[in-house]
Amino acid sequence: MESRNVRFPGHEFFRLLLGTINLRGHQTILDSCSKTEHTYSQLLSDVLRCRERLIAAIPAIYLNQDGHVNEENLTICSMLPSDYRALVAFFAITSIGAVALPIVSDSLPEEILHFHERFHALCILHAKEDVNLEDKLEKYCIDTGKPVPKRASFPDMIGATSHLHHDITLSTASASERAALILLSSGTTGPPKAIVHSLKLFTSNFTGLGSDDAICLSHRPLNLPSALTNVMRNILRGAPIELLSNSSPGPIWERLRQSGVTNLTGSSSFWFTLTEYFEQIIASLPQEEMQAYLEAARNLKVAITSGASLVPRVENFWRNVVRRPLIQVWGSTESSIALSSLAAGEDTATNLIGRPLPGVTVRLSKGDFGEMLIKTPTMFQGYWENDAATRDAFDESGFYRTGDIVSRRGDDYFIEGRAKTDSKCCLLRRVGSYAKKRSEVIRVSGSKVPIPAVERALFRLEYVFEAFVVAVADPAVVSRVAVLIRARNPQMQLDLETLREDLSAHVPAFMLPSIIRVLREGEEVPRTASGKVNRAKLAESFFPRSVESSMRGMYENVEIGPATIDWKSRGPRKMWDTGGVVSSSSGQTTTANAAT
């Protein structure tokens, strides 16, 4: 097919993409995952080649004369590794008007079929080297009596420039409100929730081309909302991109030391682990070597943190030691970035989330305090085929209910907690109506662990007499799931490994506790005057720490396990063990799911 016959949807997204490639076609995407480098011009060539592969795989009845899908809300599952190919796939899928659904490349057959059926997918785009996928899918479908979904393998011909962008035209039909992307966000039980966006997610805050010599380092899996949106926006701005396959602090610091990186974004957990690594490893190096790392970090022009508030010593490290203060942003998968501390006043409080971005309207439910309600130009369209949940997400004036309790001082906003999950007495007294809502969800990186579900599972174990689940703060992963347990047999020697193994039959792996303390004879849990368990005092009494913001210094009777799961040593997993949004090949069950 000649490139001059290609027509992309008539959306600002594609106009910006083609304009950027016209001006910055020489810019590169360096993929350390596959050890390849691609110019933006090559990116467009690869998009067109992948587009042809998709068109060939989709039944003709679903396509019009331009090669676009002829109905809205027709999806294509993209289950590619988190590398350059994932970017190509997104552009290719949206270029035919379909809805892109990125899913992790090592999803189980039953998870793949769930996504295929739930989202009415036209086909599944997968990596050619995934030779076992077809066998696994076909076997599962035969065993369950389900039809085998259509598949399309990613094309091998990568990098040729036979297609030229100036031969591509845009359709005259408007596509501004059409669904284009489904972002999966870990739910509290079962499969992940599905958040639908149009391409306005990437174009509404477009401010023109960025610096020609900036290098944006992407270190998070590209099926995660924060990672995909950040990379796409930087591509539209014509910035060089570097995809790093490992977000561990060691490789990040080594890449910074090599110089060149100017833009780095991560969750508060990410910046915490970088700080810990510097303090524990780099600070012990000879002065000259240590200084080289510091100077490299000082060369960052944009350093953004999102998600939970920074702990004071992390904020202090980047402000006073590195001398590169972190920019705090607030956002969600539903709204994208809405506030930033970049234009905020002089206040350096760690709970500062800044001021609204252009086009964003913020209200607080009780004047200068309360639940934050927002309107943004990047707001999601709704939850996939769930009108009730979509309606509940907005108030009567069309403002999105964030669930975050926020205060305002002057023009600056400060996060105080969660309306539905924060149980701090001082917070609940101030917001009044939220006082009846006790903490029922624990945030562990990008996942939400429901306390009632874990406690119900614990009581299914015959040796459990009493069990209490609480959150223990750990800036490396936001929080840990901690269990205080009393065995029926006081002589029983119960350890964390045994409990996790027994509990794994009843809950997904991402909900398993990583901290345990066994109650001894005579120990009682704190209760309120009415006899209810006081969870805040329980956490303080039984899981105290002597070292600020660290798992070090925990009380000696507390057993602490790894915050993440090593899947290679754990063996087979079951459906939704990872929450449906994180690859088990990463060695983790949870990854920071910042909303930026």
Q: What is the DSSP string of 72-85?
A: TT-EEEEE--SSHH
For residue 88, the model assigns a pLDDT of 96
Same domain, 128 and 38: yes
Q: Is 448 exposed, middle or buried (0-12, 13-18, 19+ CB in 10 A)?
A: buried
User: In this structure, what token pair is assigned to residue 134?
Assistant: 């077809």
Same domain, 18 and 94: yes
Which helix (H) or strand (E) covers residue 417, if one does?
strand 412-418
Nearest to 66 by CA among 125, 120, 118, 14: 14
Q: Which residue has the tokens 């004369």?
A: 65
Place 476 in a pLDDT band, splitting at 50, 70 and 90.
confident
Q: Which range among 21-25, 50-54, 120-124, 440-444 shows the weakest confidence by mean pLDDT? A: 440-444
Evaluate whether 104 touches 115 at the Cβ level (below 8 Å).
no
Instruction: Classify residue 220: in a domain, yes or no.
Output: yes
Per-chain mean pLDDT for the chain: 84
Region of 49 (left: φ > 0; alpha: ψ -120 to 50; beta: rest) is: alpha
Which residues in 277-396 belong to E strands, given as ranges?
A: 302-306, 327-332, 336-340, 352-356, 361-364, 369-375, 382-383
User: In this structure, what token pair is assigned to residue 360?
Assistant: 């964003």
User: How many percent of the chain have pLDDT more than 70?
Assistant: 85
Which helix (H) or strand (E) covers residue 101, if one does?
strand 99-102
Count the alpha carbons within 13 Å of 124 in the hemisphere toward its beta carbon: 26
Count the alpha carbons within 13 Å of 345 in the hemisphere toward its beta carbon: 9
Same domain, 9 and 104: yes
Same domain, 165 and 219: no
Same domain, 82 and 147: yes
What total number of domains does the chain contain?
Answer: 3
Same domain, 236 and 125: no
Same domain, 133 and 226: no
Same domain, 107 and 224: no
pLDDT, one tens digit per residue, over 193-229 is: 899 999 999 998 888 887 888 899 999 888 888 889 9
* pTM for this prediction: 0.85
C-alpha span between 269 and 267 (Å, rounded): 5
Handedness of CA 484, 485, 486, 490 (dihedral sign): negative
Same domain, 29 and 146: yes
Mean local confidence (pLDDT), 155-175? 65
Residue finishing a domain among 325, 344, 377: 325
Evaluate whether 305 touches 267 at the Cβ level (below 8 Å).
yes
Nearest to 80 by CA among 154, 17, 1: 154
Which helix (H) or strand (E) covers residue 472, if one does?
strand 464-474
* Buried/exposed 186-200: b ≥16 CB within 10 Å, e otherwise: bbbeebbbbbbbbbb
Residue finishing a domain among 325, 345, 372: 325
Evaluate whether 22 touches 165 at the Cβ level (below 8 Å).
yes
For residue 355, the model assigns a pLDDT of 94
Of 5-19, 146-160, 190-204, 280-294, highest mean pLDDT: 280-294
Nearest to 428 by CA among 331, 536, 346: 536
**Cα dihedral: 386, 392, 395, 399 (round 10):** -50
Same domain, 505 and 554: yes
User: How many percent of the chain have pLDDT more than 90?
Assistant: 52
Evaluate whether 563 touches 514 at the Cβ level (below 8 Å).
yes
Range of the domain at 302: 210-325
Report the CATH number at residue 214: 3.40.50.980
Same domain, 27 and 126: yes
> For residue 180, what are the CA distances in angstroms to 100, 200, 377?
6, 9, 16
